[in-house]
Structure 1
């Protein structure tokens, strides 16, 4: 691989990989439509999006007509439910790495420096991504209530995972270009301020749309749930961070205060899952949320099977997911040591932003969809 990079350049090698991977998939789908497209691409990647967009708990291929499982009948072919699977994870992670690499090349061409400042400038976009995803949930709720919605497929898919990650990343890149332009013409003292301002504005606009649509299709407003998640997650983050500072300060010498953002992002996700899946009804919601990811679904199923009911009624059965999220965040902080930052600061910051996004994005969505009743 290195000889090709030396001969043709890293960007050309990356472009060739993108064309080979996606062009190869398209060719295989054309040659073997049922085996490759229906039983792989549709079942694991597109069908969950279709189910989510229509508010269906299950979708069936049904000879290509695509129907809810409840009406498709037996022998309808592959089926899928909203959310991720281990197979889709196996496809999304390499794709995410390819996308991440492409953005690194773009940032290199922009000649961006002060990467740590850029991290904080991009932080509001992580919240914006979660809020924008919840706007799509509200869109589904409006359709269920009125029979009409502002967005429908295929445009609706742009606000559903995993496509929304690409959408938010492109918006963030465009915002970064604008912010750097403003800095280099002395309109702002630093590009990170303009970048954070753009991200915060987008977050506010998405919350306005969410509130408006939720007032039509939602089943109530539950701010106490959001307050509880924020307070509990922030308290856990503070305790764990102070413990690191006191007993293992070498862990955060690389990430420094960015480690707090990583820890808080994943603690928000873990806390939102625990409260949403086990205790949503205690805040007035008509029912608890359903797990959207295979990891928290597996933990919930295992705990429901082996945890005595007398204990589960007191503690719930999703709390180990919060422990897993906190442990994973601490591990990530440890991995991003000083040597990693010295060897490749640009790539390291991009990886950290990705880590924050995959925690704070779903966590923000879980909090907001429960808070606005969508």
Structure 2
């Protein structure tokens, strides 16, 4: 079947650039021509407004004319006229992020093809530290919020580490590390670009974790340190992923024939997300690690609400109401891994590797954040 680019007689890279420029022109032009409808009602309401509210530690942000007000009481937010933006995600914003992600992945494929790298599976494992880094970096802003007005990173600089801007920040750091690693390889300074790439990711991750640990042990630091939470989450995620992998190998071996060890890492990454939510939302008090956290994603909230309204209270007392989220994550990750057979790797290796990294990131990234938030009490 002919691709869109082939039917139009245009090079794929030119079609991609044209599509991106068209979308940007539509958003920018619409925001200028119809600022109240396009910018205030869509761009600000679902994307930039939540970032501003989060960056200012507000309950919500309200757009009034050309100004933004920050409210710090729930009652005031409920009484405010739309558009009102709350920190966190909505279904609209999450769909928008998925669209941006797919567009970005396509652009990265063209870049990797031009550089003639990324067709081997080593790229996937080399980028793993950057996935952890993204989740850990988001917790830096949580620590800053906990520190109040005396935080080291204040508005507007802290918007760089709040979703969705943090994705661009992490992407920029990763791209610089990737290009630098490729340059080292081509100058014959290293045998493979994957080695300095892993080193770069590990370095930025180590610096970020060191800051978080300092915030917990410093005399006036805003955080605390609950190592039992970290241990329980990692053990629970590893056991869940190993059990899921064993079931696949035992009963559906074809499911992981294409991905191999990559599939196991993907399932483990989503298990971290699932277990971190179960522990953070239901078992913090039981572990002696402070109050339970609250869900920040619409899917998490929906599953918690459905479970709470379906199961009897006597059952929820022993199980909590978040465990179905872990089940959903494990099943969904397993089904996604099943889709990636060997043929897909052969037909489009760069795109397949990047897509698997993205699939891992949407689980392990938020999972790392939730795990570290619970571990450091922020």
Partner in structure 1 of residue 257 of structure 2: 253
Q: How far did 1:72 drift?
A: 6.1
Partner in structure 2 of residue 339 of structure 1: 343
Partner in structure 2 of residue 303 of structure 1: 307
Contact map agreement 1:59 1:79 (CA 8 A) in 2: yes
Contact map agreement 1:5 1:13 (CA 8 A) in 2: no
Contact map agreement 2:146 2:223 (CA 8 A) in 1: no
Contact map agreement 1:4 1:13 (CA 8 A) in 2: no
TM-score of the superposition, structure 2-length normalised?
Answer: 0.93
**Deviation digits for residues 175-199 of structure 1 (CA, Å, limit 9, x no counterpart):** 1111122223333222212111110
Contact map agreement 2:245 2:264 (CA 8 A) in 1: yes
Secondary structure, counterpart of 2:127 in structure 1: helix
More displaced stretch, 18-27 vs 210-219: 210-219
Contact map agreement 1:300 1:317 (CA 8 A) in 2: yes
Partner in structure 2 of residue 125 of structure 1: 130
Distance 2:374 2:7 in 1: 48
Contact map agreement 1:62 1:72 (CA 8 A) in 2: no
Secondary structure, counterpart of 1:17 in structure 2: helix
Contact map agreement 1:158 1:167 (CA 8 A) in 2: yes
Secondary structure, counterpart of 2:190 in structure 1: coil
Distance 2:78 2:131 in 1: 41
- What does residue range 1-374 of structure 1 map to in structure 2 within 5 Å? 2-3=4-5, 7-63=9-65, 64-68=67-71, 70=73, 71=76, 74-142=79-147, 144=148, 147-214=149-216, 215=218, 216-374=220-378
Distance 1:6 1:123 in 2: 38
**Deviation digits for residues 258-282 of structure 1 (CA, Å, limit 9, x no counterpart):** 0111000000000000110111122
More displaced stretch, 246-255 vs 266-275: 246-255
Seen in structure 2, the aligned counterparts of structure 1 residues 176 and 3 have a Cα distance that, compared at 3 Å, is: closer
Distance 2:345 2:237 in 1: 27
Distance 1:252 1:364 in 2: 24
Secondary structure, counterpart of 1:255 in structure 2: coil
Q: How far did 1:171 drift?
A: 1.4
Structure 1 unpaired stretches of 5+: none
Seen in structure 2, the aligned counterparts of structure 1 residues 266 and 368 have a Cα distance that, compared at 3 Å, is: same
Distance 2:287 2:80 in 1: 41
Seen in structure 2, the aligned counterparts of structure 1 residues 162 and 373 have a Cα distance that, compared at 3 Å, is: same
Superposed CA RMSD in Å reads 1.8
Seen in structure 2, the aligned counterparts of structure 1 residues 274 and 95 have a Cα distance that, compared at 3 Å, is: same
Secondary structure, counterpart of 1:77 in structure 2: coil
Contact map agreement 2:278 2:323 (CA 8 A) in 1: yes
Distance 1:26 1:161 in 2: 21
Distance 2:34 2:221 in 1: 41
Seen in structure 2, the aligned counterparts of structure 1 residues 126 and 7 have a Cα distance that, compared at 3 Å, is: same
Q: How far did 1:242 drift?
A: 1.7
Contact map agreement 2:5 2:12 (CA 8 A) in 1: no
Q: How far did 1:219 drift?
A: 4.3
Q: How far did 1:159 drift?
A: 0.7
Find runs of 4+ consecutive structure 1 residues off by over 3 angstroms.
3-8, 71-76, 213-217
**Deviation digits for residues 284-314 of structure 1 (CA, Å, limit 9, x no counterpart):** 3332111111101001111112221111110
Distance 1:118 1:97 in 2: 18
The structure with the largest helix share of the pair is: 1
Q: How far did 1:346 drift?
A: 0.8
Secondary structure, counterpart of 1:268 in structure 2: helix
